[in-house]
Amino acid sequence: MGDPNPWATVGAVISWYGSNIGVLLLNKYLLSNYGFRYPVFLTLCHMSACSLLSYVGVALLKVVPQQSVNSRAQLVKIAVLSVVFCFSVVCGNVSLKFLPVSFTQAIGATTPFFTAVLAYLISQKREAWVTYATLSPVVAGVIIATEGEPSFNILGFIMCVSATAARAFKSVLQDILLSSEGEKLNSMNLLLYMAPIAVVVLVPATILMEDNVVEITLNIARKDTKMLWYLLFNSFLAYFVNLTNFLVTKYTSALTLQVLGNAKGALAVAVSILIFKNPITTIGMVGYGLTVLGVVVYTEAKKRYS
pLDDT tens-digit map of 60-101: 999 899 999 989 999 999 999 999 999 999 999 999 999 999
Give the whole-angstrom CA distance, residue 254 versus residue 84: 22
Q: Which amino acid is at 247?
A: L
pLDDT tens, 185-226?
999 999 999 999 999 999 999 999 999 999 999 999 999 999
pLDDT at position 254, please?
67
pLDDT tens, 24-47?
999 999 999 888 999 999 999 999
> What's phi and psi for 185, nearest 5 deg?
-125, 140
pLDDT tens, 151-166?
999 999 999 999 999 9
> What's phi and psi for 16, nearest 5 deg?
-65, -45
Give the whole-angstrom CA distance, residue 30 versus residue 213: 14
Exposed/middle/buried for residue 211 (C-beta within 10 Å: 0-12, 13-18, 19+): exposed
Q: Which of 211, 190, 215 is nearest to 54 (CA)?
A: 190
Residue range 220-237: average pLDDT? 94
